[in-house]
C-alpha cells in the first residue's frame, strides 16, 4: 500500500520509497490540478525510479503566471543590490549542496559525476556573477546638445518570463536563465525538461531557502507538449527564454513573433574541431575525446565533427580510435567511468538510427556503433563511443545534430578547405582549431562562422562571464550568460530619459543659435 508521509517542505515520501515532488507556485509547494503525475527514471538503470512529479496542466501554468505577475511590481521596485544579496545567498547554498545536487543529477540524467559537479559549479558561478550585476546594471549618460538638460539610458525589467530549459545541463542552464532574469527585476515561471525534474525541484528548493519573496520564481513541471507552448504564448508572459532543439525553438519563435513577445532561443550545433598539420596531435586527440564524448555527446557544444588536415589524417584517426577504445562506459556515479548512458530509449534509438544512416551513406565506421546491452549495462541506455572516418561533408551524419556519442571525421586539403567545411552546415554555435601557427589562429578567428571559437581547446567549456550563443540556426534573439551582449540584454530593455532643468522650452535640433 502506498502510504503518503508529509516531509517538511515539499516532498511526500510514499511507502514505495519513491519521493513525490510538487510544483512551486506563489511560495507554496502544490500538487497539480490535473491530479496526474509522471516518473523520472535513472537512464543507467531503468529499475531505479528517482521520483514522481506533477504532470501539470494549463491550469497550473496559468496559476504560476498569475503569481509571477502579481509579484512583479514589488520585485521590480526592490533595489537591484538587494536582489543581488538574495542571489549571493543562493550561490552560497548551492555551493553547500553541490555534492548532493551533482549526485541527484547523475542519477537522473546519466552524466558522469565529475561533469555533474561542473554543471552545479556553473550555476554557482552564475549566481555570484549575476549577484554582482545587482550593483552594476549600468546604463549610459551622454551630454545633451542643449543647456541644462541631461540624457541617460537605463535598463528596465521586461516583466514576467517563461524559462524553458533542457535536460542536458539540468542545473547550469536553468541558472543561466533564472539568475539574470531575477537580478534584472523580472519574475519567472520555470518549466524544466520533463526528463530532469528532480534537478529542477532541488534547485528551486535551494533558491527558496535563500529568501525569495513568494511568486517571484515559480516552478511548473510537465511536458513541453502540454504546457510549453501554452506558457510561451500566454498573454501574461512578456518574454520567453528557451534552450532546446531547433525544431521546437523555431516553432516557439514563430508563435511568439506573431504576438510581439520577446523570445530568445539557444538551439542545436554541429560543432567542428579543425586539426591542422602543425597541431600538437596529443592535445588535439585529448580535446576531441572530451569534446566528442563528454556528456555522451549530448551537449549543444559537442564536437561532433573533426576536420583533419590530410597530412596528419591517418595518424589522427588511428590514435583517436585507439584512445576511444580505452574509454570506460558505465554508471556515471562510478568515478572511474568516462562516459555514461544517453538520456532515454527514444534518444538511444535516434542515435542508433543515425549510425545506420552513416553506414548506408558509406562512411567508414572505425569504432563503436552498437548499443551496449550486456551485464549491468543492459539495464540502461548505453551506446559505444562511435567514430566514423572518411565522412564527406554532404552526408547527413556530417550535417545533422545527432546529440549522442557519434563523431564524424572529415579530411581537409588545407585551412581554407577546412573552414569551408566547418561553416558548411546550418548551425554555428561553437568551433575550434588546433594549430601552433599564429597566422592560422588569426584566420580561423576571423573566418569561422560560429558564436564561439576555441583555439587549442575543444568546442566545450564556455565560461559564464562571456556571452553564450550561436549564429545561423543555433541561436535566435539574444545570447545567454554574462559580459557585453550577454543575457542582461535578454532580460532588460533600454529606456531613454531626457531631463530639462533650464526652466524654459528648449527645442532639440531647432534651437541652434
Ligand atoms: C550545452 O552545450 O548545452 O560550454 C551547454 C560548455 C558548457 C555549457 C554547454 N559550459 O560546454
Q: Is ligand 1 within 6 A of the CB of residue 429?
A: no
Active site residues: 266, 300
| Integer Cα distance of 18 and 9 in angstroms | 16
What would the grid cell of residue 418 be? Answer: 577546412
Alpha-carbon distances of 433 from 240, 387, 452, rounded to whole Å: 34, 19, 11
What CA dihedral angle connects 292, 297, 299 and 300, to 10 degrees?
A: 70
Ligand 1 pocket residue status of 303, Cβ below 6 Å: no
| Ligand 1 atom nearest to CA at 122 | 10
The model carries a pTM of 0.95
CB neighbourhood size of 245 (10 A)? 17
For residue 298, report the distance from its CA to the centre of ligand 1, in Å. 10
Atom of ligand 1 nearest to the CA of 299: 2
Ligand 1: does its nearest atom lie under 6 Å from the Cβ of 56?
A: no
Tell me the CA–centroid distance for residue 459 and ligand 1, in Å: 9
Residue 299 is given by DSSP the state S
Q: Is the CB of 384 under 6 A from ligand 1?
A: no
Q: Identify which of 306, 393, 402 has the alpha carbon closest to the alpha carbon of residue 355.
A: 402
Question: Hey, which of 454, 468, 470 would you mutate to test ligand 1's pocket, going by the most ligand atoms within 8 Å of its Cβ?
Answer: 468
Q: Taking a C-beta distance cutoff of 8 angstroms, is the pair 328, 337 a contact?
A: yes
pLDDT of residue 207: 84
Least confident of 6-20, 371-385, 428-442: 6-20
Q: How far is the CA of 460 from the centre of ligand 1 (A)?
A: 6
**pLDDT tops 90 at residue 14:** no
Q: Is 165 in the pocket of ligand 1 (CB under 6 A)?
A: no
Residues in the chain: 513
Mind giving me the DSSP string for 343-359?
S-HHHHHHHHHHHHHHH
In angstroms, the CA 476 to CA 77 distance is: 30
Phi-psi region of 484 (alpha: psi -120 to 50; beta: other; left: phi over 0): beta
Note the pLDDT tens digit of each residue in 34-44: 999 999 999 99
Ligand 1 centroid to 194 CA: how many Å? 20
The set of residues, in sequence order, having a beta carbon less than 8 Å from that of 367 and lying 6+ positions away, is 321, 324, 325, 384, 385, 386, 387
Mean predicted lDDT score pLDDT of the chain: 95
Q: Name every residue whose Cβ is closer than 8 Å to that of residue 234 and which is 6 or more positions away in sequence.
A: 61, 62, 65, 162
Residue 25, pLDDT score: 98
Atom in ligand 1 nearest the alpha carbon of residue 429: 2
pLDDT digits (tens, 9 = 90+) for 178-187: 999 999 999 9
How far is 372 from 341, CA to CA, in rounded Å?
10
Cβ(217)–Cβ(239) under 8 Å? no
Distance from the alpha carbon of residue 300 to the mean position of ligand 1, in angstroms: 7
Q: Is 81 in the pocket of ligand 1 (CB under 6 A)?
A: no
Ligand 1 close to Cβ of residue 301 (< 6 A): yes
Atom number of ligand 1 nearest to Cα 166: 3
Q: Are 177 and 195 in contact (CB under 8 A)?
A: no
Q: Long-range contacts: 261-265, Cβ < 8 Å, 24+? A: 261/232, 261/233, 261/237, 262/158, 262/238, 262/477, 262/490, 263/232, 263/239, 263/476, 263/477, 264/239, 264/240, 264/475, 264/476, 264/477, 264/478, 264/479, 264/480, 264/490, 265/475, 265/476, 265/477
pLDDT at position 7 is: 35
Looking at residues 491-500, what average pLDDT do you find?
97
C-beta of 169 in contact with ligand 1 (< 6 A):
yes
Helix 98-109 crosses helix 80-96 at what angle (to 10 degrees)?
70
How far is residue 97's CA from residue 206's CA, in Å, rounded to a whole number? Answer: 8
For ligand 1, what atom is nearest to the CA of residue 301? Answer: 2
Assign 4 a pLDDT band (cuts: 50, 70, 90). Answer: very low
User: Which region among 15-24, 242-251, 292-301 has the lowest average model confidence (pLDDT)?
Assistant: 15-24
Distance 261 CA to ligand 1 centre (A): 26
Asked whether 461 lines ligand 1 (CB < 6 A), one says yes
Distance of CA 259 from the midpoint of ligand 1 (Å):
31
Residue 404 and residue 296 in contact, taking contact as beta carbons nearer than 8 Å:
yes
Half-sphere exposure of 78 (CA within 13 A, CB side): 21
Give the model's pLDDT for residue 3. Answer: 34
3-state secondary structure at position 187: strand
Residue 404 has pLDDT above 50, yes or no: yes
403 Rama class: left (phi>0) / alpha (psi -120 to 50) / beta: left
Instruction: Give φ, ψ of 218 to 5 degrees.
Output: -125, 145
- Distances in whole angstroms, Cα of residue 111 to Cα of each of 334, 355, 429: 11, 21, 21
Q: What integer pLDDT is reported at residue 13 of this predicted model? A: 47
Amino acid at each position: 500500500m502506498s502510504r503518503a508521509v508529509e516531509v517538511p517542505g515539499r516532498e511526500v515520501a510514499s511507502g514505495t520509497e519513491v519521493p513525490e515532488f510538487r510544483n512551486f507556485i506563489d511560495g507554496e509547494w502544490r500538487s497539480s490540478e490535473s491530479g496526474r503525475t509522471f516518473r523520472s527514471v535513472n537512464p543507467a538503470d531503468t529499475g531505479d525510479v528517482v521520483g514522481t512529479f506533477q504532470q501539470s496542466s494549463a491550469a497550473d501554468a496559468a496559476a504560476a503566471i498569475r503569481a509571477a505577475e502579481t509579484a512583479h511590481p514589488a520585485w521590480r521596485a526592490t533595489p537591484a543590490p538587494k536582489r543581488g544579496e538574495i542571489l549571493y545567498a543562493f550561490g552560497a547554498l548551492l555551493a553547500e549542496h553541490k555534492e548532493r545536487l551533482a549526485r541527484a543529477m547523475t542519477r537522473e540524467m546519466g552524466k558522469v559525476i565529475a561533469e555533474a559537479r561542473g554543471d552545479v559549479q556553473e550555476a554557482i558561478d552564475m549566481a555570484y556573477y549575476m549577484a554582482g550585476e545587482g550593483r552594476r546594471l549600468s546604463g549610459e549618460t551622454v551630454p545633451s546638445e542643449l543647456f541644462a538638460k541631461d540624457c541617460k539610458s537605463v535598463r528596465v525589467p521586461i516583466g514576467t518570463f517563461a524559462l524553458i530549459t533542457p535536460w542536458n545541463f539540468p542545473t547550469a542552464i536553468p541558472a543561466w536563465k533564472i539568475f539574470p532574469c531575477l537580478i534584472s527585476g523580472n519574475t519567472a515561471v520555470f518549466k524544466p525538461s520533463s526528463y530532469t525534474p528532480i534537478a529542477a525541484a532541488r534547485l528551486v528548493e535551494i533558491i527558496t531557502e535563500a529568501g525569495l519573496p513568494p511568486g517571484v520564481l515559480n516552478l511548473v513541471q510537465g511536458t513541453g507538449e502540454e504546457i510549453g507552448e501554452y506558457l510561451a504564448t500566454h498573454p501574461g508572459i512578456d518574454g520567453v527564454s528557451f534552450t532546446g532543439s531547433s525544431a521546437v525553438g523555431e516553432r516557439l519563435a514563430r508563435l511568439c513573433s506573431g504576438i510581439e513577445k520577446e523570445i530568445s532561443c539557444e538551439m542545436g550545433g554541429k560543432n567542428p574541431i579543425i586539426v591542422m598539420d602543425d597541431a600538437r596531435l596529443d592535445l588535439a586527440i585529448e580535446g576531441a575525446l572530451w569534446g566528442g564524448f563528454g556528456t555522451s555527446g549530448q551537449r549543444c557544444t559537442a564536437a561532433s565533427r573533426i576536420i583533419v588536415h590530410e597530412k596528419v589524417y591517418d595518424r589522427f584517426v588511428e590514435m583517436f580510435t585507439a584512445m576511444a577504445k580505452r574509454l570506460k562506459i558505465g554508471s556515471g556515479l562510478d568515478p572511474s567511468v568516462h562516459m555514461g548512458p544517453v538520456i532515454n530509449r527514444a534518444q538511444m534509438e535516434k542515435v542508433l538510427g543515425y549510425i545506420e544512416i552513416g553506414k548506408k551513406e558509406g562512411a567508414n565506421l572505425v569504432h563503436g556503433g552498437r548499443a551496449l546491452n550486456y551485464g549491468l549495462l543492459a539495464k540502461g541506455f548505453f551506446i559505444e563511443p562511435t567514430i566514423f572516418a572518411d565522412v564527406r561533408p554532404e552526408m547527413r551524419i556530417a550535417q545533422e545534430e545527432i546529440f549522442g556519442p557519434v563523431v564524424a571525421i572529415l579530411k581537409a586539403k588545407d585551412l581554407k578547405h577546412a573552414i569551408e567545411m566547418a561553416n558548411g552546415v546550418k548551425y554555428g554555435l561553437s568551433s575550434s582549431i588546433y594549430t601552433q601557427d599564429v597566422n592560422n589562429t588569426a584566420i580561423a578567428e576571423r573566418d569561422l562562422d560560429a558564436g564561439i571559437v576555441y583555439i587549442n581547446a575543444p568546442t566545450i567549456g564556455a565560461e559564464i562571464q562571456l556571452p553564450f550563443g550561436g549564429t545561423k540556426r543555433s541561436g535566435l534573439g539574444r545570447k545567454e550568460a554574462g559580459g557585453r551582449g550577454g543575457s542582461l540584454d535578454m532580460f532588460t530593455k533600454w529606456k531613454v530619459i531626457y531631463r530639462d532643468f533650464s526652466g524654459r522650452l528648449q527645442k532639440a535640433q531647432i534651437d541652434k543659435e
